[in-house]
Amino acid sequence: MPGATILVVDDDPVIQQLLRVSFEMEGYEVITASDGVAGLERARAERPDLLILDVMMPRMNGIEVARALKSDPGTASIPILMLSAKAQAADVSAGGASGVDDYVTKPFDPEVLLGRAEGLIERSRR
């Protein structure tokens, strides 16, 4: 869905840059935040078409951000793709319980992530 806006919330600047370049090459607009609180504020202000969210971050973790966004009627419809190094079944389950729409573990294949992101954006626009 080129033209869509993706908010990347990750405290790792290398991951932020990798995702920015990957998605911008496909025609997406990418905005970023480096911690959970900033990500929550940015999501509420910008209303992106997709949120890519890390779990382990300063100030507020990704699970808390997802719960806050999904419990707010103004942001509940924003699809959330959790991107995390936390790969245990319990971690994936916690992501699902927080309301995330998909969960991808690090390390990840950028092409796979792009496909999953496109699918979430398409479904949310139906």
Going along the chain from its start, the domains and CATH numbers come out as 5-124 (3.40.50.2300)
- Report CA 122 to chain centroid distance, whole Å: 15
- Terminal CA-CA length for the chain: 13
* Distance between CA atoms of residues 93 and 21, nearest Å: 30
pLDDT given at position 3: 82
- Residues whose CB is less than 8 angstroms from the CB of residue 118 and which lie 6 or more positions away in sequence, other chains included: 1
19-24-25 Cα angle (round to 5): 105
Task: Tell me the whole-structure pTM to 2 decimals.
Answer: 0.90
Mean pLDDT by 10 residues, the chain (126 residues): 88 94 95 96 96 90 93 95 72 64 86 93 88
